[in-house]
Structure 1
Amino acid sequence: MPEFFMPAETDPHERIFMAFPSGGYTLGENEEQAEAARSAWSAVARAVSAFTPVTMVVDPASEAAARRHLGDAVSYALHPLDDAWMRDSGPSFVRTPDGQLAAVDWNFNGWGAQEWASWDNDRLVAGHAAQLAGAAHVRASIINEGGGIHVDGEGTVLATRSVQLDPGRNPGKSEKDIEAEFARLLGARKTIWLDRGLSRDNEEFGTRGHVDIVACFARPGVVLFHDQQDPRHPDHAISQAVRARLEQSTDAQGRSLELIAVPAPRVLRDAEGWVDYSYINHLVTNGGVIACSFDDPNDQQAAGILAAAYPGRQVVGVDARELFARGGGIHCITQQVPAAAREQAAS
């Protein structure tokens, strides 16, 4: 029996953790850019708070700015921060076989010790969040981030080789080594390996290929995947490879996967090059789906696909362009705490 088990993200949530942008490249080079970042994070927090309580981890130096933007829409927890990507620096919340809450600390090291990243404070965020949630703090034997995995709640996990086998994270580790730790910490009996993430996410300021921008489980046996339909974009070939891999895969229950293509936004480039805008990077929480929008012609179509994939939930679009300009999306800045087993049974 595994030591821990990670519920599906579609299970009920007790709360969502976020972190408020407080410095570095996330705030940008001037106050206008800083306000754009604060406003983007705050818009997501307000959207989430309509469905689930939000705890915002805030660097003490940024408390005034956070309260100015968010007021009483969230609860506040002060802790020094380097950055604001709670999915990655924060823990993955799991449960023990008897239902006790635990927080997996993936030993955050700046997405593989990237030269531009700093993590002296962020490496401690997982332990802080564990304490706030009243969860046991469990340290992994590998380096990973929450954006590097996606589970179905029935023993299957999606991951990319470019992240898990990254020499900056897990030098010398094999797929079997990673799978053994996924089994211990997530209750995973089957890992579906994708080779890599999207093009821009594999460039200098990316994560080296997080899966949560490429594919995710809508429910057991059903996977949404990023479908870049324009052959001019380098992610077109990646989308085709992802589709082919998923078509050949089965989950932990032995089922073939039902695939749902989610077309990429039509915009292909920004000032920095090929975009990695993706509707896959959404948050499902209680009665809502907090979805990325891009002021793009495909926003409405994507929202319709998400509404069909998550019946009974309200899809709320939040402009994610300022998030993606800084390296991620809505899923990247949020981290769910699963509700207690008795609450799940009653929901």
Structure 2
Amino acid sequence: MLVTETVQLDPGRNPHADRARVEVELARTIGATHVIWLPRGLTRDYDEFGTRGHVDMVATIASPGVLLLHSQEDPAHPDHAVTASLRAFFERQQDATGRAFEIVELPAPAELRDERGFVDHSYVNHLVVNGGVIACGFGQPASDERAAAILASVYPGRRVVTVDARPIFARGGGIHCITQQQPAVGA
């Protein structure tokens, strides 16, 4: 299970939480056996409409041992340093079985700014469904197609469908954020 310290340990969100309590609750409610604590999320996620670091903008486990990681390739963007440090962080982590992750970078779209400043558009924020993947699109054909190809490679046999996620991101979320599935314990 991937979580961020700035979300789970936020006193405004979970005033009595500490790592041990969070891990017990995750085990009780969804059967988590191994929790990886990311130190932070993307820069803009700490703005007015942000979630203070939700992990579903940064990384996800695509399959056992395979980690999809948001990558900001432009050095001018504040998330360039953030994603480089998160990659270094994940290179030192192991999955629940003790193996190192195969890290697959999912580059951010080429667009860097909107009217409010640097964007945190992320293709990591997608939804896996029966037979498919609903992917975020940002109106940038080259970037959107590149992300769809990477998602197709880590989810073999699933059809990747891209939808325009810009209106959702403008309010601090993404496809995954608005489709909170409820996994069965032990599933």
Determine which of 18, 26, 30 is the counterpart of 1:174: 18
Determine which of 277, 302, 305 is the counterpart of 2:150: 305
- What are the Cα deviations for residues 94-125 of structure 1, in whole angstroms up to 9, with x where unaligned? xxxxxxxxxxxxxxxxxxxxxxxxxxxxxxxx
Q: Which amino acid aligns with 1:321?
A: R
Equivalences for residues 77-116 of structure 1 within 5 A: none
State the Cα distance separating 1:199 from its structure 2 match: 0.7
Point out the structure with the larger helix share: 1
2:177 counterpart residue number: 332
Higher relative contact order (CA 8 A, sep 6+): 1
Q: Structure 1: which 5+ runs fail to align?
A: 1-156
Identity of aligned residues (%): 61
Determine which of 219, 222, 236 is the counterpart of 2:63: 219
Determine which of 58, 61, 84 is the counterpart of 1:240: 84
Q: Which amino acid aligns with 1:325?
A: A
1:281 counterpart residue number: 125
Contact 2:59 2:68 in 1 (8 A): yes
Equivalences for residues 11-30 of structure 1 within 5 A: none
State the Cα distance separating 1:280 from its structure 2 match: 0.3
- What are the Cα deviations for residues 37-89 of structure 1, in whole angstroms up to 9, with x where unaligned? xxxxxxxxxxxxxxxxxxxxxxxxxxxxxxxxxxxxxxxxxxxxxxxxxxxxx
Determine helix, strand or coil for the equivalent of 2:100.
coil
Distance 2:54 2:183 in 1: 22
1:208 counterpart residue number: 52
State the Cα distance separating 1:172 from its structure 2 match: 3.9
Distance 1:293 1:335 in 2: 19
Q: Which amino acid aligns with 1:180?
A: V
Q: Which amino acid aligns with 2:158?
A: R
Determine helix, strand or coil for the equivalent of 1:335.
coil
- What are the Cα deviations for residues 4-55 of structure 1, in whole angstroms up to 9, with x where unaligned? xxxxxxxxxxxxxxxxxxxxxxxxxxxxxxxxxxxxxxxxxxxxxxxxxxxx
Distance 1:265 1:219 in 2: 23
More deviation in 187-196 or 171-180?
171-180
Q: Which amino acid aligns with 1:294?
A: F
Q: Which amino acid aligns with 1:258?
A: E
Distance 2:182 2:94 in 1: 28
| Alignment root-mean-square deviation, CA | 1.6
Contact 2:30 2:183 in 1 (8 A): no
Distance 1:325 1:204 in 2: 11
What TM-score results when the alignment is normalised by the length of structure 2?
0.94
Distance 1:204 1:321 in 2: 17
- What are the Cα deviations for residues 206-231 of structure 1, in whole angstroms up to 9, with x where unaligned? 11110001000101111101000111
- What are the Cα deviations for residues 119-173 of structure 1, in whole angstroms up to 9, with x where unaligned? xxxxxxxxxxxxxxxxxxxxxxxxxxxxxxxxxxxxxx00000001101012242
More deviation in 290-299 or 308-317?
290-299
Distance 2:68 2:43 in 1: 19
Greater C-alpha radius of gyration: 1
Equivalences for residues 1-347 of structure 1 within 5 A: 157-296=1-140, 297-336=142-181
- What are the Cα deviations for residues 222-243 of structure 1, in whole angstroms up to 9, with x where unaligned? 1101000111111111101111
1:128 counterpart residue number: none
1:14 counterpart residue number: none
